[in-house]
Amino acid sequence: MLRILLPLACLLVAPILGAQRLNVISIVTDDQAAWSVGCYGNRESITPNMDRLAKEGARFENAFTVTPVCSPSRVTFMTGKYGAQLGVTDWIAPNEAKAGVGLTRDVVTWPKVLQQAGYTTALIGKWHLGDKSDAHPKAQGFDHFYGFLGGGTSPMNPTYDFPDGPKEVKGYGADLLTDEAIRWLGENKAKTFALSLHFREPHTAYTPVPEEDSKLFANLDPTVPTFKGADVEQIKTWTREYYAAIHSVDRNLGRLFAWLEKEGLWDKTIIQFTSDHGYNIGHHGIHTKGNGMWVAGGVTGPKRPNMWDTSLRIPLIVRWPGVTKSGMVISQQVLNLDNFSSLLGMTGVTPPAGWKVEGENFAPLLRGDSVTWRSDWFGQYDLHNSGLAYMRMIRTDEWKYVRHFHANLMDELYNVKDDPEETKNLLGGAGRKDKAQKIEKIVGDLDAKMETWMKRVNDPVLNESRKRGWFEPGEVHD
């Protein structure tokens, strides 16, 4: 089989010899918040198979994406770099994909590294990282691809991209992708495999889904956020449909897990479950994610670009046979930026020396090792589809500071320790003047760290920015 060689000789990876390597299945849902999963405390969503992974493996209670929309988040997940470092700062619109926006052939992805180490690889489901030949999954480390290259398709009778062009496939998307995953695994079960299974659910449109999923929530009166002007019934309807779409994924995970057990592969396979970013259904008065829209009075309003935790926090669960202890809960702040190093760390494949990543290897946390971990981290999002925003963020255990470049009086500061729901922006509203000096010191320290980071990653926004002045000395802006 012809494999795509990584650029530069220094990126060559020697196959692992000796002990039997574990297989890898990386499961990624689309638009699924951590708050939607049972093992994260939801008592209304029904997710027994996601919960099973947490019961038998490790659940990260503070996992985040560094960009709260699809394409840049997926760039980070695949490469260990920020989307802006590779030219992907917002979801890739169809006209951008035609123009060549996406991954390039010289990019190193973890599937490329595993492929060169001897793994048989497949991507089944959503890509959304470009559709030119250099960006195609088969140029980015996957031997097999079945799914769709763009941002979305219908939940029923979806259109998938085949070598001879796009075609409609009859059935429900989650069922179809799982059918293909099991078929491909059956063909390759004697090999060491790495499967990326990327569901489109629970992305809008949430429905239709099979009745066996939707009927479970037909009579549910879900607990939802309320706010002034909220159309509570609309939010409840969205929530019921969202849970049904999630259950469609969970039910299919049950099918996949049963097949792995039947074939004797359950304890020979690392399984990772996560999502590309968080989600809001009425949270903070918006619908969807980092490019969400205000919703009030039954009317969907303008975009509210944001980096709230509800948009950034993701589920992350790992079952690593023989390593993770059942029911582990890991409290450290981990990022999708860590995925590249961590999957290589779990498989024992040496990271390529010529590819500098920004993340850390969280495999030692899964082993239960005592390790020094990050005390702060950075996020970025440049909205340019149907709006305009340039946001950079630093988050610590106590503070979150969001800087809006090329905009005045929009910066945000939250004490996420005392105000985890991020309800009070300490840089706006009726601030007390006697607190302004303390706030100025906090912002100054966070701002200095942010600019140091932006210089290190050669952030293009920093080079174009003007001096920020969010308040005059001794005043908090109104």
Same domain, residue pair 321 and 424: no
Cα distance between residue 35 and residue 282, in whole Å: 13
State the DSSP H helix or E strand holding residue 296, giving kind and residue range, or none if neither.
Answer: strand 293-296
pLDDT score at 477? 47
Confidence of residue 472 (pLDDT cuts 50, 70, 90): very low
141 with 272, same domain: the answer is: yes
Residues 37 and 101 in one domain: yes
- If you ran DSSP here, which 8-state letter would residue 267 be given? G
pLDDT value of position 19: 53
Of 367, 397, 413, the position where a domain reaches its end is 367
Q: Do 447 and 378 form a contact (C-beta atoms < 8 A)?
A: no
**Same structural domain, 360 and 451:** no
CATH of the domain at 262: 3.40.720.10
Q: If pLDDT is split at 50, 70 and 90, which confidence band does 464 have?
A: low
Could you report the per-residue pLDDT of 216-267, keeping only the tens digit for each? 999 999 999 999 999 999 999 999 999 999 999 999 999 999 999 999 999 9
CATH number of the domain at 407, please. Answer: 3.30.1120.10
* Contact by Cβ (8 Å): 307, 68: yes
pLDDT at 20: 73
Last residue of a domain, one of 306, 336, 367: 367
Are both 440 and 361 inside the same structural domain? Answer: no
Which of 7-11, 86-90, 165-169, 378-382 is predicted with the least confidence, judged by mean pLDDT? 7-11
pLDDT digits (tens, 9 = 90+) for 283-293: 999 999 999 99
Predicted confidence band of residue 38 (pLDDT cuts 50, 70, 90)? very high
pLDDT value for 434: 53
Domains: count for the chain: 2
pLDDT tens, position by position, 170-192: 999 999 999 999 999 999 999 99
Task: Please tell me the distance from the alpha carbon of residue 375 to that of residue 187, in angstroms, as a whole number.
Answer: 44
What is the predicted pLDDT for the residue at 470?
40
Is residue 116, in this structure, part of any structural domain at all? yes
Is there a contact between 361 and 373 (Cβ–Cβ < 8 Å)? no
The pTM assigned to this predicted structure is 0.93
Q: For 425-456, what is each residue's pLDDT tens digit?
A: 999 854 445 567 789 899 999 999 999 999 99
User: Tell me: the pLDDT tens digits for 350-367?
Assistant: 999 999 999 999 999 999
Strands in 65-201 per DSSP E: 120-126, 144-148, 159-162, 165-168, 193-198
In a domain, 47, yes or no: yes
In a domain, 472, yes or no: no
Do 303 and 446 reside in the same domain of the chain?
Answer: no
Mean pLDDT computed over 273-298: 96
Contact 404, 411 (CB under 8 A): yes
Q: Is 373 part of a structural domain of the chain? A: no
Q: Which of 335, 367, 399 is the last residue of a domain?
A: 367
- Residue 296's domain comprises 21-367
Kindly state whether residues 174 and 71 are assigned to the same domain: yes
